[in-house]
Amino acid sequence: MEKLPMNESVRPMQLVWFRDDLRTTDNPALASALSSGPVMALFILDEKSPGIRALGSASKWWLHHSLESLQESLAEIGIPLILRQGPAEAAIREIVEQSQTRAVHWNRRYGHAERMVDAQIKAELNAAGIPTRSHAGTLLHEPWELLTKNGTGYKAFTPFYNALRNSEIRPPLPSPAPQQPIAAGQLPSSDALDSLELLPNAATWTEGLAQRWEPGEPAARERFQCVLESIAGNYPETHDRPDLDGTSALSPALRWGHLSAHELWDALGRLASAHPQCADGATAMRRQLAWRDFCWHLYYHHPQLPDRNLRSSFDHFDWAWPEQDARIAQQVRLWQQGRTGFGLVDAGMKQLWQTGWMHNRVRMVAASLLVKNLQVHWKVGERWFWDTLVDADIASNSANWQWVAGSGADAAPYFRVFNPEMQAKKFDPQGSYVAHFAPLAAEPIVDLKQSRLDALEAYEQMKLRPGAI
């Protein structure tokens, strides 16, 4: 990009590039831009840049409606939203050349491929005389800020969490004030939202998503308030119960940035101070929020996390793959369809298909059945969750699947195999969750006792293979 001349007839603009931060409140990139001049906003659907993983179907549905909501929220403060698709580098270059952009602002991303894209764009813009301003707006702490005494990233959650809670976390930013609207003639062209083709062709599949969720910042803030008023106090007793509304259910809002992690952390702290009876619940919820940071911390320091076992010894495990075995392929299909014969797992998988979300306790149980009782590679389950979860993010999805498989950091011991029948008795004691999502029992696809013994034997054999640790 050549150094761009200034057109004195056009007002200089501040460009805010939205990515996974689709909100106006506590958005550092937006706040910085508004303090510097007139602002226009940009979102790029980039599935073409090297290494960028295409979104899953449920995520695309969520994104479509989130962009509709963001457009309305930005319009309320006088900011137009421009939509583009294709490689981000080309889109940014075209936007800058079509407008009088004075500076480009964004909140940082932490995936390796995304960081490479951002670095290339930053270098190109700086060479053209257009400064870039990157901000910390996604995580509680930057992954390079919290390190062990040896200067490396953490691999265990508890010491990471202790370091996080003992560190200084910035307070939320004030809500932005409206700016004077920008004349349409000064704006670059925008793609139509429908042209991004984010909505699945099978409209019937998304009916359940629409009944369960309202994507966007306003709905996220309503749920946020509900969590503070009625859920956080009882969180330690209810968050493991899929039959109750006992979790925050804010994971999609955090994944898409409708809600700031800083704001949630701060609000939970104030709740604990003002209402001591809620302190345990607020602390427990903060701990779950820290798990999200930990997953991104792992991914930043180990970019291979979505593709390779973090513990190399698991490279020697004889995983099953549906592409290589017809029987395994059939078992995986039954698992995906919620027809395993184990009520808690089937209810979770049907909840996932109907709503794009699954209770976290049930996610662990369903994942354990796949990777331990059936000995199917964790990447098979990770791919399915990536396509069907509205809150799918690459760090949490990969880290949590590896945690269950035993191949990741701070992983569950390989000998821990969740028993779905015992888990159901403990966490769905009245059977109401299973009755709601999976009332019709199916024939069990595997013997729990024998498959557990087979899995443990396979893990022992893995340890004996040459090169295994």
Question: What is the mean pLDDT of the segment spanning 134-141?
Answer: 97
Label residue 10 by pLDDT band (50, 70, 90): low
**187 within domain boundaries:** no
Q: Cα dist. 345→214, 325, 357, 439 in Å?
A: 26, 23, 13, 12
- Tell me the C-alpha distance between 184 and 387, whole Å: 37
**468 within domain boundaries:** no
pLDDT of residue 469: 47
CATH number of the domain encompassing residue 267 = 1.25.40.80
What number of other Cβ atoms are within 10 A of residue 323's Cβ? 9
**436 within domain boundaries:** yes
Per-residue pLDDT tens over the stretch 300-359? 999 999 999 999 989 989 999 999 999 999 999 999 999 999 999 999 999 999 999 999
Cβ atoms of 24 and 39 closer than 8 Å: no
Is pLDDT above 70 for 160? yes
Residues in CB range of 305: below 8 A, 6 or more apart: 298, 299, 395, 398, 399, 402, 408
Residues 260 and 333 reside in one and the same domain: no
pLDDT of residue 256: 98
pLDDT of residue 8: 47
Last residue of a domain, one of 266, 301, 336: 301
Question: What is the mean pLDDT of the segment spanning 270-283?
Answer: 96
Residues 128 and 143 reside in one and the same domain: no
Q: Helix, strand or coil for residue 269?
A: helix
Residues 92 and 235 reside in one and the same domain: no
Per-residue pLDDT tens over the stretch 75-122? 999 999 999 999 999 999 999 999 889 999 999 999 999 999 999 999
- Map 307-330 to HEC letters: CCCCCHHHHHCCCECCCCCHHHHH
pLDDT of residue 1: 61
What number of other Cβ atoms are within 10 A of residue 191's Cβ? 16
pLDDT of residue 100: 85
Residues 294 and 350 reside in one and the same domain: no
- Tell me the C-alpha distance between 120 and 132, whole Å: 12
pLDDT of residue 23: 98
Residues 264 and 319 reside in one and the same domain: no
Cβ atoms of 246 and 239 closer than 8 Å: yes
Q: Helix, strand or coil for residue 460?
A: helix
Q: Helix, strand or coil for residue 118?
A: helix
Residues 376 and 278 reside in one and the same domain: no
Residue range(s) defining the domain that contains residue 435: 312-463
**433 within domain boundaries:** yes
Residues 360 and 284 reside in one and the same domain: no
Is pLDDT above 50 for 272? yes
Percent of the chain past pLDDT 70, that is, above it, reads 96
pLDDT of residue 462: 87
**79 within domain boundaries:** yes
- Tell me the C-alpha distance between 136 and 108, whole Å: 6
Question: What is the mean pLDDT of the segment spanning 22-46?
Answer: 97
Last residue of a domain, one of 119, 136, 153: 136
Dig out the tokens for 301 from the structure.
């320091």
Question: What is the mean pLDDT of the segment spanning 3-11?
Answer: 53
CATH number of the domain encompassing residue 110 = 3.40.50.620
Is pLDDT above 60 for 9? no
Q: How many domains does the chain have?
A: 3
Per-residue pLDDT tens over the stretch 356-383? 999 999 999 999 999 999 999 999 999 9
Question: What is the mean pLDDT of the segment spanning 15-44?
Answer: 97
Nearest to 259 by CA among 223, 210, 212: 223
Residues 233 and 102 reside in one and the same domain: no
Residues 106 and 37 reside in one and the same domain: yes
pLDDT of residue 205: 81
Per-residue pLDDT tens over the stretch 172-199? 999 999 999 888 888 999 999 999 999 9
DSSP 136-201: --SSSS-TTTS--TTS----SHHHHHHHHHTS--PPPPPPPPP-PPPPGGGSPP---GGGG--S-S
Residues 257 and 391 reside in one and the same domain: no
pLDDT of residue 347: 98
pLDDT of residue 137: 95
**338 within domain boundaries:** yes
CATH number of the domain encompassing residue 396 = 1.10.579.10
Least confident of 261-270, 332-341, 405-414: 405-414
Last residue of a domain, one of 248, 266, 301: 301
Residues 227 and 317 reside in one and the same domain: no
Per-residue pLDDT tens over the stretch 232-242? 999 999 999 99
**Mean pLDDT for the chain overall:** 94
Question: What is the mean pLDDT of the segment spanning 405-411?
Answer: 86
Per-residue pLDDT tens over the stretch 40-70? 999 999 999 999 999 999 999 999 999 999 9
**425 within domain boundaries:** yes
Residues 331 and 416 reside in one and the same domain: yes
Per-residue pLDDT tens over the stretch 412-456? 677 789 999 999 999 999 999 999 999 998 899 999 999 999 999
**306 within domain boundaries:** no
Residues in CB range of 27: below 8 A, 6 or more apart: 21, 107, 137, 173, 176, 257, 260
